[in-house]
Amino acid sequence: MNFLEDMLKIFLPPKFSSALLRYLGLSTEVSPNQTNFSVKLTVRSSYYGRVIVENGVCSTPTIVKVDSARKHGILLEAVQVLTDLNLSIKKAYISSDGKWFMDVFHVTDHLGNNLADEKVIGYIEQSLGAALHYGRTYFSNGLTALELTGTDRVGLLSEVFAVLADFQCNVVEAKVWTHNGRIASLIFVKDCNSGSPIEDSQRIDRIEDRLRNVLKGDNDIKSAKTTVSLAVTHTERRLHQMMFADRDYERSPILQLAPDDLPPAVTVQNWIEWGYSVVNVQCRDRAKLLFDVVCTLTDMKYVVFHGTVQTAADAASMEFYIKHSDGTPISSEAERQRVIQCLQAAVERRAPKGVRLELCTSDRVGLLADVTRTFRESALNVTMAEISTSMDTAMNVFYVTDALGNQPDPKLIEEVRDRIGSCSLTVKELPLPYHRNPAIKDDEAAGGAGAVLLSIGSLLKKNLYNLGLIKSCS
């Protein structure tokens, strides 16, 4: 008898638990006394599952319910669809055991409003439905992908873009992350003259060699890597994989942390009775936080069976009940420490550091080389970057600090803007990680930072309540 079946029979009336277990495919028992009993869920016509998007259940968030046959990675696929739309996941309730997977997500747009656009709602239903049935599919965008990892330093990015400009490579898209003195970047380029992917193997080899020499610098001979990516995958997931393979989580921070910039608190304990490892993460909330955590757990071959996510103000509290893909919990102290380190790294990699600069201007060959050279000459270090182009317009975002990792002098930023073009380069306030409508009160507050383990019974009852399967969780 599995965990969910045990807990349902403990916390639900017998008729309800038996009916629900049959609905989930966990029990085949049929009692003649239950023939008039109905479950508060419409029985799906598809084996794979369904997606329901509801507005009006709560005053602010839109409720996204996902029911699906359980398979490895399905939670990540669902979260990925939502985060790729730049939606904020305020709360989440995860229940997965036996043969079925049930999740509820409370989501808003980046301003904290519910989703009023029917096109967005339709896209969510269509995308999640496709992910449940067929899994996520990625198609080539007609560009050549370059993967770079190495030791971060002031001016490194300007050298990389200068090499690409020398080889007549037009950077169409790119994402750059830095963490613990390491850098990972995924850069999509095309030939400046033809506009086609770069397929000449000799040219690619020369580009790789030059970039590898740049990344090596004076002291990174062994770990600097430059490769042309042939696999088509999710960009941000690939960046996590690259930094994980580079073992950034084992390294010590090089840049200084702000006094109020505390590292995420991660604890891992085993629930021996039920065979779970319980992961608790307490940290500052920000965009795409849940994706980063679930992505890391999935790529480390762990399965999330149950969990809750709560946010309040700028704080996030997440708890997950996990096992290995073979059904066993974490088995050693070394493994426990590794999970803690990897989750801390996953939270920190995308956390914004420094001043946010947005560049919007006409695209041209060598634009990025010129802009990042100006940053280098002003001793500004790029801690994170996102490069994109639309038609002939470049829309780029840079986070910059001084050489020691501190906030740069505002006068220096203004000088940089004057050199690049004050109309094109603007300073943006860091967006609040969690937007709240002041007229709305949260119906639940996030758990405090000191909470490590929630009662497993309370967790299950709360999830069943939020899944709409019981009327009260008290």
pLDDT at 338: 97
Quickly state the pLDDT bin for 126 (edges 50, 70, 90): confident
Contact between 306 and 454 (Cβ < 8 Å): no
Q: Is the pLDDT of residue 321 over 70?
A: yes
Averaged pLDDT for residues 259-268: 81
Averaged pLDDT for residues 57-76: 83
Quickly state the pLDDT bin for 72 (edges 50, 70, 90): confident
pTM, 2 dp: 0.80
Q: Which of 58-62, 266-270, 346-350, 368-372 has the lowest mean pLDDT?
A: 58-62
Percentage of the chain with pLDDT > 70? 73
pLDDT at 400: 96
pLDDT at 218: 63
Residue whose tokens read 């420094």: 354
Sheet containing strand 380-390, edge to edge, reads 225-229, 144-151, 182-191, 169-179, 380-390, 393-402, 355-362, 425-428
Quickly state the pLDDT bin for 11 (edges 50, 70, 90): very low
pLDDT at 225: 84
Contact between 389 and 172 (Cβ < 8 Å): yes
pLDDT at 431: 47
Contact between 277 and 329 (Cβ < 8 Å): yes
Residue 354 backbone zone (phi > 0: left; psi -120 to 50: alpha; other: beta): left
Averaging pLDDT over each range in 31-35, 59-63, 73-77, which range is the top one? 73-77
Sheet containing strand 62-69, edge to edge, reads 49-54, 62-69, 100-108, 88-97, 302-312, 315-324, 276-284, 265-271
- Of 37, 164, 61, give the one whose Cα is nearest residue 466: 61
Higher pLDDT, residue 436 or 177: 177
- H/E stretch holding 277: strand 276-284
Which structure tokens are listed for 273? 């009775």
Instruction: Look at the chain and count its residues.
Output: 474
377 alpha carbon, distance to own chain's centre: 33
Q: What does the mean pLDDT of the chain come to?
A: 80
Q: What is the DSSP letter of 55?
A: S
pLDDT at 438: 37
Q: Is the pLDDT of residue 259 over 70?
A: no
Higher pLDDT, residue 217 or 465: 217
- Of 217, 215, 211, give the one whose Cα is nearest residue 189: 211
Q: Which residues contact 183 (CB under 8 A, 6 or more apart)?
A: 148, 149, 150, 151, 152, 156, 176, 177
Q: Which of 82-96, 129-143, 188-202 has the lowest mean pLDDT?
A: 129-143
Q: Is the pLDDT of residue 106 over 50?
A: yes
pLDDT at 44: 33
Averaged pLDDT for residues 76-100: 89
Quickly state the pLDDT bin for 127 (edges 50, 70, 90): confident
pLDDT at 444: 37
pLDDT at 135: 62
Q: Is the pLDDT of residue 138 over 90?
A: no
Averaged pLDDT for residues 428-441: 46
Give the type of residue at 140.
Answer: S
pLDDT per residue as tens digits for the range 239-252: 999 999 999 999 88
Averaged pLDDT for residues 185-209: 91
Averaged pLDDT for residues 344-351: 95
pLDDT at 232: 67
